[in-house]
Amino acid sequence: MRLALRGAAVLALAVPLAGCFQPLYGTRTLDGGPSLAASLAQIDITQIPAPNGTPQSRIAVDLRNQLVFMLSGGNPAPPTHRLDIRFQTTRVSVIVDVETARPDVENFGIAAYYTLVDLNTGKPVVTDVAQSRVSYDIPGQQQRFARQRALRDAENRAATVIAETIRSRLASYFVAGT
C-alpha cells in the first residue's frame, strides 16, 4: 500500500513537469521561438588570426572549420552575432628519459579567448576562455616521424575539445541568456 502511494505521489509530481522538458539541441521549442540550432547557425565565425605557414595556422583553420560545422552544420544562416577567437598554444615535456634527456610524454595545450558580439548593438555579449590540455606519447627515439604525428593528433584533439567547449558555452548563452 505504501509503495503504491509513493508511486502515485511521484507520478503526480512528474506529470506536470513532463511538458517542461525540452531537448537542448531540438528543432522546435515549447514556446514557438527560434530553436537553439537556428540561433547557433546565425553566428558568423571570423577567421582566426595565426601566422601563415605555421602549425598555429593549421590549428586555426581546423578550429574554425569544426566550429562552423558544429554551429551550423556547414549551412550558416544570415548572421546576427559574430564570434572572434584568439588562441595560444603550449607544449610541455612531462616525462623525460633520464639516460637520453629526451621526452617520452609531452602535453599540448590550447587557450582560446573568444568574444561573441551582437551585430545589432555591436556590443560583446559573451567573453570567455576555453582551455584544453592533452598528452601524447613519443614512441621511441628511433621513429623519427612518430613524434610529429603524435603532436599533430594532440593538436587535433585539443582543437576538438576547444570547439565543443565554445559550442556548449554559446548554447548556454542562447538558452539561458547568461
Burial class of residue 14, CB neighbours in 10 A (0-12, 13-18, 19+): exposed
- pLDDT given at position 148: 87
Q: What is the pLDDT of residue 21?
A: 57
Residue 104 CA, distance from chain mean position: 28
Predicted TM-score of the model (pTM) = 0.81
SS3 category, 59:
helix
**What pLDDT is stored for residue 103 in this prediction?**
76
* pLDDT for the residue 139: 76
Residue numbers in the chain where pLDDT is lower than 70: 13-34, 140-142
Please report the beta strands in 4-146, taking only residues with DSSP state E, as ranges in sequence order.
43-45, 81-96, 103-118, 124-137
Q: Residues 60-96: pLDDT tens digits?
A: 999 999 999 999 987 888 999 999 999 999 998 887 7
Chain length of the chain: 178
Query: What's residue 141's pLDDT?
Result: 66
Q: How confident is the model at residue 62, as a pLDDT?
A: 97
pLDDT of residue 168: 95
Q: Residue 146: its pLDDT value, please? A: 84
